[in-house]
Amino acid sequence: MNNEFLNDFEAVIFDLDGSLVDSMWMWKAIDIEYLQGFGIEPPKNLQKEIGGRSFVETAHYFKERFGIEDSVEKIGDDWNKMAWDKYTNEVPLKEGAFEFLSECEKKSIKLGIASSNSKELIEQVLSSHNIKERFVSIKSGTEILKGKPAPDVYLAVAKELDVAPEKCLVFEDLVDGIKAGKNAGMTVVAVSDDYSMHSDDLKRELADYYIEDYWGFI
């Protein structure tokens, strides 16, 4: 693929964690630390169970699955506090992502974020890389309560961008996210990520394209 490929699209919509920024390692660490604070050893299949769920859905899951007495709001606030410093100082952009955003802007392609994460953390990590203002639409898992593979978050971004779904190109790293983009009627590029390498074969099968990094578009 090269940047001519982008000429077929009017909008590019990114999932955030694992797709635009290299942060999936961090969430696994936070989940473990959070549960161990309650004396709970995280089950081995936890990441698979929560993959794709919105921020609020995940908080509900933790509350019910592990019998946590805190409110869903407090669970989310605690996660935000734990993640804030890491998002500000430790989470890099995926390889070639910054340059790819510039290429999109040269072609007047609208940019959006469709993430299961919280709005506060999305805006924080984008601000830390000085790219927040590039995104016309940012939708989060605290606004769109029905998580991936439901298409809701992608359709909401497309609507705000005023671009038809078939003119949207999606970048996703997880199976449920790829399904969400396809369910929305969009073209989906699967993004390589260490966290989801175990499902690479399925990602390649479900997505329209697969990339290791963003340099191929520059």
**Domain that residue 123 falls in:** 1-218
Instruction: Answer yes or no: are the C-beta atoms of 107 and 6 closer than 8 Å.
Output: yes
At residue 175 the predicted structure's pLDDT band, cuts being 50, 70 and 90, is very high
Cα angle 138, 142, 145; round to 5: 105
Q: What distance in Å separates the CA atoms of residue 124 and residue 9, rounded to the nearest whole number?
A: 28
Average pLDDT across the chain, whole number? 94
Instruction: Answer yes or no: are the C-beta atoms of 191 and 33 closer than 8 Å.
Output: no
pLDDT in tens, 145-168: 789 999 999 999 999 999 999 999
At residue 92 the predicted structure's pLDDT band, cuts being 50, 70 and 90, is very high
Overall average pLDDT of the 130-143 stretch: 95
At residue 105 the predicted structure's pLDDT band, cuts being 50, 70 and 90, is very high
Mutual angle of helices 72-89 and 55-66, in 10-degree steps:
120
At residue 54 the predicted structure's pLDDT band, cuts being 50, 70 and 90, is confident
pTM above 0.85, yes or no: yes
Structure tokens at 46: 């936890």
Residue-level pLDDT at 184: 98
How deeply is 37 buried, as exposed, middle or buried, from its count of CB atoms within 10 A (0-12, 13-18, 19+)? exposed
Q: What distance in Å separates the CA atoms of residue 189 and residue 16, rounded to the nearest whole number?
A: 13
Overall average pLDDT of the 48-58 stretch: 87
Domain CATH code at residue 72: 3.40.50.1000
How many domains does the structure of the chain reveal?
Answer: 1
